[in-house]
Structure 1
């Protein structure tokens, strides 16, 4: 299914992509002159404000370095921790917490397994599930800026690793399987 908010144009080695969300537009390119041309065209029809290089978009924080690009959801994670403060067995709060944890796994694959386990008990969470969710929140609090890093100089070799632990789940006695996929040295899934 195509993403109706992503527009791409390319000709030869030139490339430009626009990502539009409500009143925010992010532009990337293969040549800086193309961005200047796009901004000039937009400015003739709309009043735009150039915020410079991308640093924050849809709760993602982007940090550029010579070695590559880091992406995390630090601010989202901190706000999430502030909103959570739950102590009783409230299904609505538990669901909200697990939903936000699921969104946070985009840049925090280190919490994917725990979040997946918590999401299995959305209907009737017990105090043990609430304690487990609070443990994940404490883990996030210890390193809210933890995220993904995409090195600028890396091969485009796709590598995948998986492992299984037969009958390992203490709740269901089902097997547990995990995987990670890298593009070069960057974890992508």
Structure 2
């Protein structure tokens, strides 16, 4: 994917992926790729939501799931300098925020939730 076009976001906001979206793809290749992206999201929290979506389909990946993984790779290509930045601001206040989109998964009607924890003004989780 060296010559691919960069994407502005890691996942399309209006894209509703289901378990039966498209034809079956190589499961081992998909699992290796998503596994590497899971490791990367420790330093790149901007892709954590997209990775949580594509990791749902590790047992039976389909072409739409692989397309979503490739979009994450295209996003990473366009944002090589993004990572966590820690600054000293003189206080260590801990703030946490959470959100959930109730029953948004079209397969099992479960909600997808996310959270952020800040120490001072630094994102740590």
Same topology, TM > 0.5: yes
User: What residue ranges of structure 1 are gaps of 5+ in the alignment?
Assistant: 1-80, 83-87
TM-score, normalised via structure 2 length: 0.76
Which stretch of structure 1 is more off in the superposition, 172-181 or 102-111?
Answer: 172-181
TM-score, normalised via structure 1 length: 0.52
Q: Report how many residues are paired.
A: 104
Report the RMSD for the aligned CA atoms in angstroms. 1.7
1:147 paired residue among 79, 83, 94? 83
Structure-1 residue corresponding to 2:93 = 157
- 1:19-60 per-position Cα deviation (integer Å, ceiling 9, x unaligned): xxxxxxxxxxxxxxxxxxxxxxxxxxxxxxxxxxxxxxxxxx
Would you say 1:120 and 2:53 are equivalent positions?
no
> Shift in Å at residue 154 of structure 1?
4.0
Deviating above 4 A after TM superposition, structure 1's stretches of 4 or more consecutive aligned residues are none
Would you tell me which structure has more strand in proportion to its own residues? Answer: 1
Q: Secondary structure at the match of 2:114?
A: strand
User: Quick one: distance in 2 between partners of 1:101 and 1:170?
Assistant: 23
User: What residue ranges of structure 2 are gaps of 5+ in the alignment?
Assistant: 3-23
Structure-1 residue corresponding to 2:66 = 130
- In 1, are the aligned partners of 2:89 and 2:121 still within 8 Å (CA)? no
